[in-house]
């Protein structure tokens, strides 16, 4: 059973969950109803909630935003949903002890990868160039910190050689997400 934690009223978030196709999805929401963090799918509810509570330890469980978490689950499984980015917390300064996005650069990267169309990919270099920087590794680091996976499609960013590259949730999850969007992958490389 998932433990509810109430340590302070000022920084508490609400976590909503959804079970879909034997995977558990979770998202944390601010008092204003904005998403502060999304968990990649897990095999059980405790792991999904734990992924969020590592960053936001003061939380309560709530079904209030279950519909949005269901939408995120559908996106993971390949539904092309136009998710409203106004629903995610993009402020660098936030009311939470652990801000979701730490720097302007991280926010710029998040906004840039949010533009990658469904069923397509871009390279780390493409993202860096669109931000007028040669810091490809810095872009990769910012992408690795993406607190909104699935909704902000960091899985659509690959290496310049066509290999899928790393992923916080593991390459298997990245391959699943890209395959669910209709991309062909062989030996962890995008193929035509």
Of 48, 49, 154, 185, catalytic: 154
* DSSP letter assigned to residue 113: H
Structure tokens at 78: 């390949």
Which own/partner contact pairs does 83-88 have at CB distance under 8 Å and 24+ positions apart? Answer: 83/151, 85/114, 85/151, 85/152, 87/33, 87/34, 87/35, 88/34, 88/35, 88/36, 88/148, 88/151, 88/152
Q: Which of 51, 14, 8, 50 is nearest to 32 (CA)?
A: 14
* DSSP letter assigned to residue 156: G
User: E strands, the chain, where?
Assistant: 13-20, 23-29, 35-42, 59-61, 122-123, 157-158, 184-186, 189-191
CA geometry: angle 108, 66, 50, nearest 5 deg: 70
Are the beta carbons of 157 and 149 closer than 8 angstroms?
no
Q: Is 74 a catalytic residue?
A: no
Catalytic residue numbers? 154
């Amino acid at each position: 059973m998932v433990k509810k934690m109430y340590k302070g009223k000022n920084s508490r978030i609400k976590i909503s969950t959804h079970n879909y196709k034997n995977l558990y999805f979770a998202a944390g929401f601010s008092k204003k109803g904005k998403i502060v963090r999304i968990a990649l799918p897990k095999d059980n509810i405790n792991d999904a909630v734990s992924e969020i509570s590592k960053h936001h330890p003061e939380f309560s469980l709530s079904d209030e935003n279950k519909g949005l978490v269901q939408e995120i689950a559908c996106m993971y499984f390949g539904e092309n949903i136009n998710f409203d980015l106004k629903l995610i917390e993009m402020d660098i300064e936030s009311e939470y002890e652990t801000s979701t996005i730490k720097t302007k650069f991280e926010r710029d990267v998040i906004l840039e990868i949010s533009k990658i169309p469904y069923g397509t990919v871009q390279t780390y270099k493409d993202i860096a160039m669109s931000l007028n920087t040669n810091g490809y590794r810095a872009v990769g680091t910012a992408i690795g910190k993406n607190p909104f996976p699935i909704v902000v499609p960091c899985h659509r960013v690959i290496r310049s050689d066509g290999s899928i590259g790393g992923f916080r949730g593991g390459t298997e999850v990245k391959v699943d997400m890209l395959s669910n969007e209709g991309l062909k992958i062989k030996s962890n490389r995008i193929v035509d």
